[in-house]
Structure 1
Amino acid sequence: MSWSYRKTIKLGPIRLNLSRGGVGHSWGNRLFRVTRTADGRRTLSVNLPGGFHWRKTLGGR
């Protein structure tokens, strides 16, 4: 089993995500969020009440 590290710093609607792989960031609220991961992937997430959610990866490496 390998070790991992992740720390999230909230700055209003922006989150900085620190991990062993690098720094990522996301912007949005509980319903709509755009994320850029440390390895360059971009993800769009939409979360609806009642447990429904939709997630789309917009770009890869």
Structure 2
Amino acid sequence: MGWSYRKSKKFGPFRLNLSRRGVGHSWGNRLFRVTRSADGRRTLSINLPGGLHWRKTIGSSR
């Protein structure tokens, strides 16, 4: 198992994510979030009370 690094900083509904792979960001709240990862993937997440969640990759990395 290799080492990893992840740091996250929140600015209201905006979150900046720092990792070993680079910088990503996301926008939203607990129920609805849009994420752009360090490698370019875009993900839409919807989380409902009771543990129900749905996630879809909108765009892939180049």
Q: Does 1:15 align with 2:15?
A: yes
Detail structure 1 runs of 4+ shifted over 2 Å in the superposition: none
Query: Which runs of 5 or more residues in structure 2 are unaligned?
Result: none
Please give the TM-score of this superposition, normalised by the length of structure 1.
0.98
Shift of 1:17: 0.3
Residues 22-44 of structure 1, C-alpha deviation per residue, up to 9 Å, x if partnerless? 00000000000000000000000
CA RMSD of aligned residues (A): 0.4
Please give the TM-score of this superposition, normalised by the length of structure 2.
0.96
Who is 1:32 aligned against?
A: 32
- Matched length: 61
Who is 2:3 aligned against?
A: 3
Query: Which runs of 5 or more residues in structure 1 are unaligned?
Result: none
